[in-house]
Amino acid sequence: MLNCSTDLFFITPSGNYKVQSIDYDKKNLVVYDPAMSTCSILQPHHDFLMTPIQSAIIPPTSDTVFALLNCSVDSPVLNHYKSLCFNFSGHSCDELYNSCNAFRIFRLGLGVSNGTNSTGSTDFVPPCCFTGYDTVKFMSMNILDCTHYTSVTNTDRLRGLGPLDWIYGIKLSFAVPDTGCERCAQSGGTCGFDTETQVSLCLCSTFTNSTRECAAGSDTAEGRDCAPSILFQAVFVIMGALLICLHDFNLSFI
């Protein structure tokens, strides 16, 4: 799904999307669709597609909203599926037509709108729809009968901000299997990987062997996991004490 031969790209059936940022704590990453329309540029008709596996394990987050623009009055999301459309953070689609130079062309009806108003004039605001990823997942732009789309992230933080200040892109959430790396680091070790056995390792500075945790670690270390390292330390202490005793014994004999 990811290619890092040059920059890091997220690869889907509809294209390669450059990864803009990664938040490892919140487990999400933001990608940008170069063929997507934004407030400053109008792009040709385009779909955003993900494979079923991708949409299951690295789906767009709930605070990513897709704006379907210049829709026909017969669009499914304006009729039978109109419940799929919503406003977010107090914003409406009309703001995009009124504030963005790229989308103002739809409002003026310069040869790209899908109809006219009751007076026969083409100066009208065509319908649009704010919706979630599941809508564009199951219905293509042709089925939706909308000519363009854009997507906005962090929508829960955009109250009071106009479209010119919105963050355009697609935020994806991911999950990382628990390999014990965080626990290893907390115990003073370094996370590693054995290329022969294909397992994760915890490399400790005290010994050359690897364990799940290091003995001289944080209070979060569990005794059963640290037992091997503690046992080795105890053996070394006992062996050292025996050597001292034997040395004193020999001296007393001499």
pLDDT digits (tens, 9 = 90+) for 28-51: 999 988 888 888 899 887 888 999
Residues 132 and 16 in one domain: yes
Q: What is the mean pLDDT of residues 212-216?
A: 74
Q: What is the mean pLDDT of residues 217-229?
A: 36
Residues 80 and 202 in one domain: no
Residues 109 and 190 in one domain: no
Residues 66 and 10 in one domain: yes
Residues 45 and 127 in one domain: yes
What is the model's pLDDT at position 11? 93
pLDDT digits (tens, 9 = 90+) for 59-87: 999 999 999 999 998 999 989 999 999 98
Q: What percent of the chain has pLDDT over 90?
A: 31
Residues 50 and 130 in one domain: yes
pLDDT digits (tens, 9 = 90+) for 115-143: 444 444 445 678 889 999 999 999 988 89
Which residue do the tokens 């623009």 mark?
Answer: 69
Residues 196 and 98 in one domain: no
Residues 108 and 226 in one domain: no
Q: Which domain holds residue 227?
A: 181-253
Does residue 229 carry a pLDDT above 70?
A: no
Residues 58 and 104 in one domain: yes
